[in-house]
A and B are shown apart, each in its own frame.
Chain A
């Protein structure tokens, strides 16, 4: 079955760029989206169809997808960006989520 793999945790200093990866077989042939989830809150879509930002999502959030790896990049990371991030793709018959990455801003 199709799987998406994310690093469990990523740390970044405020103001620096954070990159979170998501790996899966032939991933660039699928659309990837990313969600942000803060403790006690519902997930929020931050990137869809690899690179698109929903309205209301800051420009510092960007996405890319090449080969077997999709990447969420947060430029100029702020303390408010500390959260769990999940990648997600559709494999043709099911929706698949990555295991999630805890982003720590310190």
Chain B
């Protein structure tokens, strides 16, 4: 069953702008993770936020988590052309198992 669902499906912005992607999930989670995938490659872990956290920062990334709304957002500030990729949220519910959303395709235009 689909646990994480990203919104929007595609986002196109100019270099220097901020990019915000949203994720919704259906059941209780232990943590929520965000991954990045360059075209045709494997996924790379970006950031993990635990269910008892509300916000977390890592470099230009800011993740928020609202467990009451079962939603999370990923903000990339001051975007660069190299940020062009697909971004996935993944909900960890039990036993280290992740359920991924369909992803947001981000295009950053130079």
Determine if chain A interacts with chain B.
no
List residues of chain B with CB under 8 Å of any chain A CB: none
List residues of chain A with CB under 8 Å of any chain B CB: none
